[in-house]
Structure 1
């Protein structure tokens, strides 16, 4: 059996924290983020953008950036909204969510921009 890897993280060091599954993998570049958005759109999920301060990222409440993009299928527009949120709140983490109407839950969520801790 292989060794289980321990990820050094702490509450005091906000840059070391892990969020969702993708944060345990190497950081996604723009092309990989785009593929994830394409997947969300292909599933018919409603994309939404959320943000929060790094010190509050483990809370259950993240601020909604505008309303969810109900029925939006333009990947470039979705990515532009995530970028606009990041520009408006450069110190905050920004995540993209795909809401599954059928299951009434999140089908996907990933942090696409990490904020700077103060």
Structure 2
């Protein structure tokens, strides 16, 4: 088995990996919808966060509104992601699924990666 090295460095913000899914090619709309379907099917509460690219490795991102408690409509969740991207075009945006039983994040994934200024 060969391990693949992913070229990333602190000096190149565009190369930084931000979570498990960032090692894969970007998701298309259908794949993102499936991830949101999964969050909804698990009964997790979706939440949207955003931050400037140079702060992406920080533990604290800005919350976009309150978590979408009990939201099960995938289109509404997608429209909130789009609204966040529109309001903060230069920011990374991530979607979190909060597990209400375990009281922790069930999943977190970057849904929009902004270009980092050089």
TM-score class normalised by the smaller sequence? over 0.9
Alpha-carbon distance, 1:12 to partner: 1.8
Aligned length: 117
- SS of 1:48's equivalent in the other structure is strand
Separation in 2, partners of 1:117, 1:44:
34
Separation in 1, partners of 2:49, 2:72:
18
Deviation per residue, 1:46-105 (Å, 9 max, x gap) = 000000011110010000000000000000000100111001101100000000010000
Residue 34 of structure 1 pairs with residue 38 of structure 2: no
Alpha-carbon distance, 1:38 to partner: 0.3
Separation in 2, partners of 1:113, 1:27:
9
- SS of 2:6's equivalent in the other structure is coil
The corresponding residue for 2:3 is: 4
Please tell me the root mean square deviation across aligned C-alpha atoms, in Å: 0.6
The corresponding residue for 1:62 is: 61
Where has structure 1 moved over 6 Å in runs of 4 or more? none
Separation in 2, partners of 1:63, 1:87:
15
TM-score normalised by L of structure 2: 0.97
Q: Is the 8 A contact 1:90 1:116 kept in 2?
A: no
Structure 2 unmatched ranges of 5 or more: none
Residue 16 of structure 1 pairs with residue 20 of structure 2: no
- SS of 1:31's equivalent in the other structure is helix
The corresponding residue for 1:108 is: 107
TM-score normalised by L of structure 1: 0.97
